[in-house]
Amino acid sequence: MLKESLILLFQVLFIINMFFAVTIILFDRKTPGVTWAWLMIVLFIPFLGFIIYFVFGFDGKKYKEFVNKSKYDEQILEKYSKLKLDEFYASSELEKNIVKLNFASSHSKLSTNNEILIYHEGQDKFDNLIKDINNAKDYIHMQYYILRNDDLGRRIINILAKKASENVEVKLLLDGMTSKFIAKRILAPLISSGGKVEMFMSPHFVKINFRNHRKICVIDGNIGYIGGFNIGNEYLGKIKKFGHWRDCHIRIRGNAVKDLELRFIMDWNYSSPNFKIDVSKFYFPKINTNDFSHMQIISSGPDTKWSSIQYLYIKMISEATKSIYIQTPYFIPDDSIFEMLRIASLSGIDVRIMIPAYPDHPFVYWAALSYLGELIESNVKCYKYERGFVHSKLVIVDGKMASVGTANMDIRSLKLNFEINALIYDEKQVEILESQFIEDISDSSIMDYEWYHGLSTTNKIKESLCRLISPLL
């Protein structure tokens, strides 16, 4: 009798599990690849699989939330357009098609008067950032995905608190998941000094989707920072697990800073019901520089109509005639980017891709190897960075244009996270980025045909399994 009851219970629970699986197909409207990946988990890990899906995959009320955010953003864009900041409406024939694409998909205008400094090491970036913060007169707007409760995190907060006590407007926006459990005491000095802190889409429980992965800092409307460095000791290379930290970040003086500030205001006003920023010329001062670097700021997220950064990557690859260099910690491309890279390489274009040799997410690493293995067959040169951890999100084409920012070459960045990139058209700046990439090759090992096909059967099984769930990673 007990055995029959247990069998009946299992059958009932299995039917319930199947019902959940059908619910995923009918109501969540994901892409077919993502849907099948989740179905595999739900069906082959009964009961527990649905709990995993509910925590990591279920979108809930995302569409309503994102429609609301999109409406708020449109209102801010309309207010901004009324300021008539004519110096920002520069036009150029330079890379005309890609400029038009970025404008159409992301409201990104081409600015032509930018002064750019490039950082590959965290110490240089944070030394300059702290110096600029200390010199702030009017406001500091800062947005980060991660702020650690460590030496660097506390130092930054204390400096911001000091500026807030000097009547400088300080606003700090953090991602709602990664910062959910930050001890309140690390933020207390800033808040008690008059600074404002908000969390972007703070979930009621742990949820990895739809995170704000942007890293932005705007100071007095004159200086902007964008790139891969978060705030924490590992980004200074001080954590043994990661060792030397290679990344890419840029400091901007010029009209591109206005796009960074505009994006910050959009995200801040959505997250802050009580301390909204008024869109006024105070936050968008006129900027005069002696440099003429051309640049666009492109942002994307699940709240936007177009996958702007995905389109940017596809367009850059399609425009290449000589070379494509990609540096990314996570390489899980969608089908469109994957095929474009394969076609480019088979067409004789020099395609090179660099990932970390010592990954922080093993499932992502094994999935990446499955894609890289196929690209190696197409004569793509693939490298593992051995010196430490490479975190740069970098795409360089023909030595003429380069994308630097927060978006990895993976489905999570292109479809699920809120991201922001800077597209640089200045060949002198692009040469600096390309030279560093070439230098990094000397600290890397090549993953060639012999290496890949020499991997063990166990490794190939890991690749295959991780490839199946790669749309979820």
Q: Which residues are catalytic?
A: 213, 215, 220, 391, 393, 398
CA distance 230 to 214: 9
Q: What is the CA 412 to chain-centroid distance, rounded?
A: 9
Given a contact cutoff of 8 angstroms between Cβ atoms, the answer to whether 390 and 262 are in contact is: no
Q: What are phi and psi of 402, to 5 degrees?
A: -145, 140
State the CB neighbour count (10 A cutoff) for residue 259: 27
State the CB neighbour count (10 A cutoff) for residue 9: 10
Query: Whose structure tokens read 């005069």?
Result: 288
**Count of residues in the chain:** 473
Report the b/e string of 112-140 with b at 16+ CB within 10 A: bbbbbbbbbbbeebbebbeebbeebeebb
CA distance 321 to 158: 49
Rounded-to-10 torsion of CA 176, 181, 182, 187: 70
CA distance 440 to 360: 19
Given a contact cutoff of 8 angstroms between Cβ atoms, the answer to whether 335 and 448 are in contact is: no
Given a contact cutoff of 8 angstroms between Cβ atoms, the answer to whether 158 and 189 are in contact is: yes
Report the b/e string of 77-99 with b at 16+ CB within 10 A: eeebeeeebeebeeeeeebeebb
CA distance 395 to 54: 34
CA distance 436 to 442: 10
